Amino acid sequence: MGQIRVETCDIEGLKVLIPEVFGDERGYFMETYRRDQFTEEGIPVEFVQDNQSSSVKGVLRGMHFQINHPQAKLVRVIKGRVYDVAVDLRKGSKTFGKWFGVELSSENKKMLYIPRSFAHGFLVLSDTAEFVYKCDDFFHPGDDGGLRYNDPDIGIVWPDEIRPEDMNINDRDRNWPDFRAQFG
């Protein structure tokens, strides 16, 4: 893929993307999205919405998904560090209910492509983090769903540099139903 290296994951469809960074004394330049290259790599997606969030250390956002309007996402961090996680919710997939995590940071410049029908969330590891992502469908109010970040049936292993008691999780994210209650 031209100037973006693609690494496949154990979960089909998930891809870690590592852009080539051209730097000098002035700073750097990199491509973060090229539709032709993405299509060549089996990511024929048309993004329609960009989002950005800012969070402080210990904030855990997730695990979110849209129920009737699933979104594919291309996620990256432009400031700080996060541990990013995706859970396969594709019924019939051989990895249904499995999770994958990767550290994304402004330093490593890695991105994660998440296909439709995955739950997604992240934990902020740095003092602050700015997180940006592209979506292939619009947000539909009232169509949001989620999974508990610590559901034992999924078994996400969050980095131990943030202790569970120090995680900053809003009530909605803390109280999502378990995977088994929603997906059997």
83, 113, 133, 149: the active-site residue = 133
Distance (Å, whole) CA 84 – CA 9: 14
64, 83, 120, 149: the active-site residue = 64
Distance (Å, whole) CA 32 – CA 3: 9
Helix/strand/coil for 183: helix
Distance (Å, whole) CA 137 – CA 47: 7
What are the backbone dihedrals phi and psi of residue 29, each rounded to the nearest 5 degrees, phi first? -140, 145
Instruction: List all residues 6 or more positions away from 56 whose beta carbon is below 8 Å from its beta carbon.
Output: 124, 127, 128, 168
Residue 64 a catalytic site member = yes
Residue 28 a catalytic site member = no
Which residues are marked as active site? Answer: 64, 133
